[in-house]
Every structure is written in structure tokens, then in C-alpha cells.
Structure 1
Amino acid sequence: MKLAARVGRIAPSPTLAMTATAKAMAAQGLDVIDFSSGEPDFDTPEPVKAAAEAAIRAGFTKYTPSSGIDELRQAVIDKLRVEQGLRYEKSQILISCGAKHSLYNLAEALLEAGDELIIPTPYWVSYADQALLNDATPVLLPTHEAQGYAIDPEELQRRITPRTKAIIVNSPCNPTGAMYDRPTLEAIATLALRHRLLLISDEIYEKVVYGGATHVGIATLGPDVAAQTVIINGVSKAYAMTGWRIGYAAGPKELLTAMANIQSQSTSNPCSISQKAAVAALRLGALFTDAMVREFDRRRTAMVDRLNRIPGVTCRMPDGAFYAFPNIRGVLGRRGPDGPIETPHQLAQYLLQHAHVAVVPGEPFGSRDHVRLSYATGMETIQRGLDRIAAAFEKLTI
């Protein structure tokens, strides 16, 4: 069978693949410590589960409008108004099957052959592949660990061409945990306005920030910026609802209408029950999320401190999200039982096979010097897993 050429441009999500491998090994009875999964280990809040149960009991189990129920779209509007001072109409809101689905709808509606999408690196693994699936070209904008992964406006300017269609802004960032400050966002917005580029603001980790930091959404910089921004968000990370699959987009009416039309021909509506649960989540307030983030903060400090005590490893303290992104350049080049370990991918395979620890290699994120570890798991698991990693590295020979 001859498949479409676009299939050959991409690979399966490496984070999901590593998580699946770790679970398969655990199902075989192996004691695998999984640092690969990008989801909170907390349970969904009880009021959210109660709202879902009430929806089931009330028979709210049929099709809904493909763009989402009015109640949820209004809850998103209210959230953006109260928290960011932004004002949208319901025609500017699209509810989808997770933030990833929102991003894919956007890529389908916006990108075509010859277009370019600027993506700061390191980057979340699906940005580039979604561009490739829609015949566009990902243009990578390197950021550097030594500068806190800040975007250099001059480097950004050099990558803008007449074919540039949009710029990704992911703050806090997966995988680095870095956040962009207001001056950086203002510089990005200035260039976007000058060149009439769309800003894609992925804010899925906006609630998971530390040390008194405040998330700044780029659309809040002014009405002219908001008019050229699509906000992508969802309930997965802030409310421990990854499996409920509810994300949303907010932005220019013409673009959101096109995205809604695409969704109507692909998935139709998101799950009716999950939509009712998402309403409850957005109305819940900060009580649940704040407690979860406090625990993440405790784990963040423990993981990064321990990583920095492992010879050959350095790790920047993340400002947000729930990932450590240690630099393992000092370990690469050593020899393991299967031969030299030259790449993050080879190192991740070594840790999985010989230490039974799952981490995600840096290559799919755009780095050949890092691996990603999630600290959205228990403290005891973190301690055991890092002890295994330290012991596994000690066994490598120069």
C-alpha cells in the first residue's frame, strides 16, 4: 500500500512512546521508574468528578455543538476576562479534544506548502511535526541554557522571511521550564506586529509556576497584539485532567471559525461529559491548583538538587511546568555494556534497559545535550529513580 508522503515526515510522539514502553515493562513485572510522562500524578478534583457524574445521571451523553457547549465556551471567556483582562465572543472560542488537538486544528487552518513556522528550541515535540503534516516548514530558533533559554529578538528577526506565517510562544516551556519575561514578550510582539505574523501562545502550563513568578500572556500586551494572537490552553495540567481531553483556543474570529469548520469534519464535538467536567474545573478556582503546585515545587527542588550532585550532569532550576531538563553532555562519550553512548537517545535507552528508569531523550525537543525528566510523581519515586540514575552513570567507563 502506498501511503501519503506526509506520513514519512513524522515519527510517533517520543514522550508517549517512552511512557508506553515503561508501562509495558512494568506489566511484565519489572520495577520501572517512569520520569517520561507529562501528566500530574494527582487525582482529578472531586467537584470535577461530581460534575461529570451528574452529567451522566442527567443523560448528557449525546452530541453537542461541534465547537463545544455554550456553558464551557462562556467559562473560558470568563476565565480570560478575569485572569488576563481579555475579552472574547463565543465565536472566538473553540473547545477541542485537548490542547494538542487545538494546535492541530490551528495548523490545518493556517499553514500550507511554502509557509514557515518559527519555533524556539528546545520545543515541545509536536510543534514541528504538526507543521510538517500540513506541508509547512518548521524554522528553528535556538535559545541557550546559559541565557535561561530566553529568545534573542535579533536572532528572531533574522529568521523572519516573506514566507513566515507565525511564531510559537510557549511559556512556561515544555521541556525547559523557562518563562519569558515581559520585555522579551514585548520584543516578540513588536516583530510580529511589524511583519503581520500570528502569535501562537501555548499557555497550557500557565498555572504551574514557582517562586512567586507570574505568567504573562502575550495577548495581554495590548489590543493590537491580542488581535494577532491565538491562545492555546486546556484543563489537563492545571486540574489533573489529562485523560478527559479538553483543550481550547481563543483568537481572531475568522481563524477560529476556520478551525471550528475543520473540527466539525474531523472529530465533531469533544466528549459531552468531559465538557461538563471542564466547566466545573474552570469554576473551581485556585485552591486545588495551588496545593498541587506547592508539592511540585518541593519535588522540583529535590530533583534538581540531586541531579546537580551527579558527576557529569548540570541542571537549571525550571521556572514553571513540571520537568527538569538536565544537561548530560558530561556523560556522553562514555561506554556502557552495549557500547559507546554518544547521544541522549542512547543514554535514555541505557537507563531504561539497565537501570529501569524511563526518561525522554533530548533530540525530539531539539537538543543533543539534554534529557527530560518529569517530577510529576511522588518524592519517594524521585529519590529512588535518581539513585538509580547516579548508580548507572557510575558504571559507565571512559
Structure 2
Amino acid sequence: MDRPLLNRRLAGFGTTIFAEMSALAVRTGSINLGQGFPDTDGPEAVREAAVRALREGRGNQYPPGPGVPELRTAVAEHHKRWYGLGVDPDTEVLVTAGATEAIAAALLALVEAGDEVIALEPYYDSYAACIAMAGGTRVPVTLRPDGDVFGLDLDELRAAVTDRTRLILLNTPHNPTGTVLTPAELTAIAELAVERDLLVVTDEVYEHLVFEGGHLPIASLPGMGERTLTIGSAGKTFSFTGWKVGWVTGTPDMVTAVRSAKQFLTYVSSGPFQYAVAEALALPDEYYTSLRDDLRAKRDLLASGLTAAGFEVFRPQGTYFITTDIRPLGHKDGLEFCRSLPERCGVVAVPNVVFYDHAEAGSPFVRFAFCKKTDVLDEAVSRLKRL
């Protein structure tokens, strides 16, 4: 009984920052621009598709382990429609309980004790926990401010690869910085992966939230089809984050490996919602354009308000998050700043430092979410003027 109850691999992770900040928002009655969920539901037709599936008894019992055929087919058609990628819905698509389970299952399946996993820092917090649970060693490569965006140092990435490197864990569009890796950067990463015979797990849940230009899947680049596992999700694209419907695509061998881990996590989930997401993926181009344009306008609204309040603002190229630097306001500790912000002006944000191994690199940065109603953002901007 002298041994701690919590597995040593998870020691130090504790409660996620999102839970802490959301609880703080409730306790203080603040506007929650911390956790990244919309405050409105997605398309009514998609919601009704879920209701219809419930009433018709589709998905109320265990769906097939790989996911319902309709959704796997819709994911394959989505990849063909947007990127010209051929995906076999029977062998190269696996439905998961959101992207978070996809990340966990992928790392548990592909990483063994002693393997090194390169992750772009700052990183979504589940990356660190899942690498630890798999017994791997996290090797961060830091994105750093470069003008009004965060940039990747390709030389630093190359130097991070060792004989123990198993895979590169990518995220583009990138949460929390909003950076979208360029075709040149993705090409360089692909060439490195081929040269060093590395796997790539790429989290592309914000693929339809790119405000300038478009999204380029690294799986489409030469030599990458056979070594890339791509993660997607319905939550960010259709604003039904509570449904937890995600997927992975890759070679049959890679998908089979991930399924071997996934079947012992949730096994299956979200039965009726899978049918609804299958219909959602077939929505016309106008839906995707409208979603992007609406969020771009909200990005600009909040970015202007944050600039006026005294923050240095890094205007995101994608996602629905804005990273800011608090040093112009006379602060340098993002965690302390975020814990005091609700009392100061009734707004909640998230400190980026919790997404870093190199705390000194992330300390002055704070993230705000703009996937909220316009009037909520207007009120948040008004409150932030108190700073």
C-alpha cells in the first residue's frame, strides 16, 4: 500500500486544464472562452437524422466494431471528394469515440516502451497522456512566434529524430496556435519520414476550418500513404462535440492495429449518431463555406477586441482558437493570469503553458476560443476592455 494508487505513467497529469477553467467559469458566472465547444448546435437536418435513427432503431444496439457501413462509406467518399484520396471503407476506415479515442488507440497500438514520439509543442493535452500510457517517450519540437503566427523549425525537427523515434505526431490545423502547416513544410516532414522510415499520426480534426488557402493531408504526399494514420472528427466540423464521433484512416494493416487497441477501450459507441454523421458528411459545399466564413468573421471580431484590450494577438490561420501574448499587459505567467481573469473582467481563457514541456516557452501565452455566438463575443470584448 506504500505505492501510489495512480499508475506512475500518469503521475503529474491530474485534472485537465479544461475542467479547471470551465468550473471556474461556472463559479464566477464568467463567459467561457476557454474550452473549445460551440454554444449552438449544428445543422438541424443532422440533428433530425440522429432522431430518425433513434426512432427507427438504427444504432440503439451495438453497432459493428469498425463502425456502421454507412459512415465508413461516407468517410471514404469525403476523402475522395475533398482530397482525391482513395480509401477502402471496409479495410481502411475505423470509427472511434471522437478524435480523443482515436489518438489513444493509435498510440497504444503503434508505440511500445522505449519508443520516442515527436510532437509539435504546444500540443493538445491528451497527446502527452496517451504517449505516457503507451510507455513511449515524448520528444517536443516547439512552434515559436514568427511574425503574427507560430512557425515550425524544420532543422529542429530533423535534429529531434533518433534511432529510437517511432513516429511523428502531427496536428494541422494546429491547436492551440492556429498554425496551418504549409505545403513546403508538409513536404519536408514527409521526406524526413520516408528517409528515416517513420510512421506519422496526423490529427486533422480542424480540416474544414482553414481561413486562408486550404487543407493539405500529408497522406496525399509521395511515400506517405503507406505510413500515415489520419484522424478526423465530426465534432469540430458539424458542432456536435457531445456526440463523440471520430475516425481513423490508413492502410489495412495500420487500421487493423489501431482497431486491436480500440476494441478494448470503448469497443463501439455513438450508434445512432454514426448514421447522422454519415448524412452530415454529404452536406453540400455551401455548408462548409458558410461554416468557414462565419468563424473567420468571429476570429476577426475577437482578434480586434483582444488587440484593443492590450494583448499581442497571433491571428490563427485555422481552428477556432486565438493565442495571445500577455506580456504587453505587464504579465508573464499565463496560468496565474487565467486564474485571475474571471474576477478581473468575467472572462475565462486557457493558459498555453499546460500544453508545453518547455514551460518557459509557453508561459506568456493564453488561448481564447471564438466558436461562440456573436453577441457572446461582443460581450467578452466589452469586458476585456477593463484590462
**Structure-2-length-normalised TM-score:** 0.93
Q: What residue number does 1:328 align with?
A: 326
Distance 1:194 1:33 in 2: 48
Q: 8 Å contact 2:306–2:384 — kept in the other structure?
A: no
Q: 8 Å contact 1:92–1:251 — kept in the other structure?
A: yes
Letter in 2 for 1:327: D
Change (3 A) 1:261 1:3: same
1:19 aligned to which of 5, 18, 22:
22
2:8 aligned to which of 1, 5, 9:
5
Change (3 A) 1:122 1:7: closer
Distance 1:208 1:239 in 2: 11
Distance 1:271 1:82 in 2: 25
**5+ long unaligned stretches in structure 2:** 357-361
TM-aligned CA deviation for residue 55 of structure 1: 1.1
Q: 8 Å contact 1:34–1:358 — kept in the other structure?
A: yes
Q: 8 Å contact 1:66–1:263 — kept in the other structure?
A: no
For residues 13-52 of structure 1, what are the structure 2 equivalents within 5 Å?
13-23=16-26, 25=27, 30-52=28-50
Q: Are 2:374 and 1:379 equivalent residues in the alignment?
A: yes
TM-aligned CA deviation for residue 209 of structure 1: 1.4
1:345 aligned to which of 335, 341, 365:
335
Say which SS state the counterpart of residue 249 (structure 1) adopts.
Answer: strand
Change (3 A) 1:253 1:284: same
Q: Are 2:219 and 1:219 equivalent residues in the alignment?
A: yes
TM-aligned CA deviation for residue 185 of structure 1: 0.5
Letter in 2 for 1:80: H
Structure 1, residues 72-131: CA drift from partner, whole Å, max 9, x if none?
Answer: 111111111221121222212110010111111001101121111111122222212211
Say which SS state the counterpart of residue 330 (structure 1) adopts.
Answer: helix
TM-aligned CA deviation for residue 9 of structure 1: 4.1
Letter in 2 for 1:144: R
Letter in 2 for 1:280: E
TM-aligned CA deviation for residue 64 of structure 1: 1.1
Q: What residue number does 1:369 align with?
A: 364
Aligned-residue Cα RMSD (Å) equals: 1.6
Change (3 A) 1:191 1:209: same
Distance 1:265 1:123 in 2: 26
Say which SS state the counterpart of residue 231 (structure 1) adopts.
Answer: strand
Distance 1:54 1:381 in 2: 32
Q: 8 Å contact 1:10–1:133 — kept in the other structure?
A: no
Q: What residue number does 1:239 align with?
A: 238
Give the aligned length: 376
Q: What residue number does 2:229 align with?
A: 230
Q: 8 Å contact 2:10–2:129 — kept in the other structure?
A: no
Q: What residue number does 1:338 align with?
A: none
Structure 1, residues 188-216: CA drift from partner, whole Å, max 9, x if none?
Answer: 100011111111111100101113x1111
TM-aligned CA deviation for residue 3 of structure 1: 3.2
Distance 2:192 2:153 in 1: 12
For residues 1-398 of structure 1, what are the structure 2 equivalents within 5 Å?
2-23=5-26, 25=27, 30-60=28-58, 61-89=60-88, 90-146=90-146, 148-211=149-212, 213-222=213-222, 224-311=223-310, 313-333=311-331, 342-366=332-356, 367-391=362-386, 393=387
Q: 8 Å contact 2:70–2:278 — kept in the other structure?
A: yes
TM-aligned CA deviation for residue 354 of structure 1: 3.2
Q: What residue number does 1:339 align with?
A: none
Say which SS state the counterpart of residue 113 (structure 1) adopts.
Answer: coil
TM-aligned CA deviation for residue 241 of structure 1: 1.3
Q: Which moved more, 1:7-16 or 1:372-381?
A: 7-16
Distance 2:72 2:158 in 1: 36
Distance 1:321 1:119 in 2: 18
Say which SS state the counterpart of residue 141 (structure 1) adopts.
Answer: strand
Say which SS state the counterpart of residue 209 (structure 2) adopts.
Answer: coil
Distance 2:81 2:167 in 1: 27
Q: Which moved more, 1:176-185 or 1:288-297?
A: 288-297
Say which SS state the counterpart of residue 59 (structure 1) adopts.
Answer: coil
Q: What residue number does 2:359 align with?
A: none
Change (3 A) 1:178 1:72: same
TM-aligned CA deviation for residue 288 of structure 1: 2.7
- Percent identity over paired residues: 28
Distance 2:339 2:347 in 1: 9
Say which SS state the counterpart of residue 140 (structure 1) adopts.
Answer: strand
Q: 8 Å contact 1:239–1:289 — kept in the other structure?
A: no
Distance 1:203 1:3 in 2: 31
Change (3 A) 1:259 1:9: farther
**5+ long unaligned stretches in structure 1:** 334-341, 394-398
Q: 8 Å contact 1:75–1:279 — kept in the other structure?
A: yes
Structure 1, residues 4-58: CA drift from partner, whole Å, max 9, x if none?
Answer: 22231423321243224323x2xxxx53111012123332212211211111111
Q: 8 Å contact 2:40–2:373 — kept in the other structure?
A: no
Distance 2:46 2:23 in 1: 27
Distance 2:61 2:354 in 1: 38
Distance 1:264 1:209 in 2: 33
Structure 1, residues 326-369: CA drift from partner, whole Å, max 9, x if none?
Answer: 11123354xxxxxxxx5100000110233221100111122112
Letter in 2 for 1:130: C
Q: 8 Å contact 1:9–1:133 — kept in the other structure?
A: no
**Structure-1-length-normalised TM-score:** 0.90
TM-aligned CA deviation for residue 138 of structure 1: 1.0
